Structure 1
Amino acid sequence: MPSPRRPHDDPAGDVVRWAAFSCLLVPVVLVIYGTSFGGAAVATFGLAAVTAACRAMLRCSEKAERAAAAVLAEDRPAPGRRRRHSRGGAASGGGGRRGCSGPGGIAPQD
């Protein structure tokens, strides 16, 4: 039985959290190593913009993935139930060949 999902089990959320941490850490490191406050601020805004865009794309792809999973789930039969096929079997005289009614390959006309 799969365990229930917890908020910290979200891989996209983990990526966004690390990116936000980087948005805070990078300007500090830049200022320590001699970059101006203005340059560090520009880097911070740039990283924040990239992080926001990546977050939006991750959320969009998660929605698309959930929608695709829902469509696949609708196509599957319920567990324990079998689909009916309209294939001709040995009982209907079709043998192993579908679309053919006799050994000659041409169906007789009425």
Structure 2
Amino acid sequence: MPTRVPTAQDTVSDVVRWAAFSCVLVPVVLVGYGTSLAGAAGTAIGLAAVTGACRVLLRRSERGAAQLRRATAPTPHHVRHGRAGAGDRRGGRHAGGNKPVD
């Protein structure tokens, strides 16, 4: 049976799902240990705010990574109009690497 590789979308969804579960579980545990309902509600609101902010940042990071992948993806030869890629077979002296010229 082939193993499915999780995508970034799946990973972000899993993180957000577990964070939402924690937003419910933590206040219930706090009330169970004797914390006031107001204190538990405040904790739940704080956790929900942090979860929302993390979700926004994760989605933004995911979009940025997708844009970076698209920008660095090699383009097909016919799209480049016959031009060589960056540094491919261009003239000049390349034997010395990145050594400074005296």
Equivalence map 1:1-110=2 (5 Å): 10-73=10-73, 76-78=74-76, 83=84, 85-87=89-91, 98=93
Deviations 1:27-54 (A, max 9, x none): 1000000000000000000000000000
RMSD: 3.0
The amino acid across from 1:85 in the alignment is: R
Return the offset for 1:77: 4.2
> In structure 1, what is the Cα distance between the partners aligned to 2:75 and 2:56?
34
> In structure 2, what is the Cα distance between the partners aligned to 1:66 and 1:27?
36
Larger radius of gyration: 1
Count of aligned positions: 83
Instruction: Give unpaired runs (5+ residues) of structure 1.
Output: 89-97, 100-110
- TM-score norm. by structure 1 comes to 0.64
- TM-score norm. by structure 2 comes to 0.69
- Higher normalized contact order (CA 8 Å, seq sep 6+, divided by chain length): 2
> In structure 2, what is the Cα distance between the partners aligned to 1:59 and 1:44?
22
